[in-house]
Structure 1
């Protein structure tokens, strides 16, 4: 039973989906609407990233069936804790789907201390908070996105406002970038190999398709 539950949640990370070919992994099978809040601290540094993911009805109902240990058609506190712990473990390999960069260079993020799982209106909701491993000042261009590198889970920010910033100073401007897939491929053609098109989930270049929050900050005088 434990292995079945693990496989169900691991579909979030597309790592243990039995019977799926690499071709199948090129298309989303799980869908989630997301919100990301970037929290800026008083010293004009990035303090935290706060994530909320609300999963589609089909996947949510699958999780409900697999984790409803007492058969009451709802997830209690202990059952939700089990969901959150398995999701936490499963997503660690994928950096919790976070894509953060400063002037085009990757920014290492701490693993969240924990994940919280909830079940509302027949949908699974995952919440967690993470921090940069090192001080991340508001300088130059900072990009924040949420993306599954295996293409199995589609993380969608329905409204631009769902990529938000708390405490953004006047030296910074904010915009939401939604790459067009064809344009992204054309602009990165020199970096994309046949292996990418055969198995787009087998490398980290899939981040070029991620919707992201872009902050452009002027140097402080």
Structure 2
């Protein structure tokens, strides 16, 4: 699942920009800290998800070396635009590594209008925003998270406050869920095939390990 793009180092990592706890036999190679903000409309439907990923120093320095065309040890606007384009094209087929569900049912999301790359304090930062394809009401159990089907990169929400929703109606509750791997496997045993246990990176079931923001709202709220 390595992406066929011009910068092989970035391609290898760009396919795996997600947050999760992985089985002990699988090890991430790239690390990032993340923030996810759920933005609501005035009518309390979900307007958008705002993602921010800040990558580790080692990977960031590798990206700098790969994309610093004029060798001035920084990324200018045109070089950052190339990073943005590369990542945008690389992760699109994976739904930008998002998982959004209502009562366990997947919710379709629009592709982001654009993806912005920045370089701050010698770290690569990726920002983008997505919207639901159809109006998404605050009703039932709604989960927002990210997951890496390749297990290659670990993106960590280091604080619960990095998973946020502003102006949540008082009838709703919110919880940050950090699944225990053994419990996640036990709870989803009927859905897991031999392929998952032989090569979890070849399935989409790695999402059961994803750290997520869970909202619970009465259906008639």
Relative to the length of structure 2, the TM-score reads 0.91
The aligned residue for residue 8 of structure 1 is 9
Q: How many residues align?
A: 210
State the distance in 2 between where 1:88 and 1:180 align: 31
User: Is the aligned partner of 1:169 residue 2:169?
Assistant: yes
Can you list the C-alpha shifts for 1:151-175, whole angstroms capped at 9, x where unaligned?
1111110000000002211121100
- Runs of 4+ in structure 1 deviating by more than 6 angstroms, as ranges, are none
The aligned residue for residue 43 of structure 1 is 43
Instruction: Please tell me whether the aligned partners of residues 4 and 66 of structure 1 are also in contact (alpha carbons under 8 angstroms).
Output: no
Instruction: Please tell me whether the aligned partners of residues 160 and 176 of structure 1 are also in contact (alpha carbons under 8 angstroms).
Output: yes
State the distance in 1 between where 2:172 and 2:164 align: 13
What is the RMSD of the two structures over their aligned residues, measured on CA atoms?
1.6
Instruction: Please tell me whether the aligned partners of residues 141 and 216 of structure 1 are also in contact (alpha carbons under 8 angstroms).
Output: yes
The correspondence of residues 141-220 of structure 1 with structure 2, limited to 5 A, is: 141-220=141-220
Change in 2 beyond 3 A, CA 1:206/1:4 = closer
Change in 2 beyond 3 A, CA 1:107/1:66 = same
Stretches of structure 2 that go unaligned for 5 or more consecutive residues are 17-24
State the distance in 1 between where 2:8 and 2:113 align: 23
Q: Secondary structure at the match of 1:111?
A: coil
State the distance in 1 between where 2:195 and 2:27 align: 16
The offset of 1:109, in angstroms, is: 0.4
Relative to the length of structure 1, the TM-score reads 0.91
Stretches of structure 1 that go unaligned for 5 or more consecutive residues are 16-24
State the distance in 2 between where 1:12 and 1:95 align: 16
Instruction: Please tell me whether the aligned partners of residues 5 and 86 of structure 2 are also in contact (alpha carbons under 8 angstroms).
Output: no
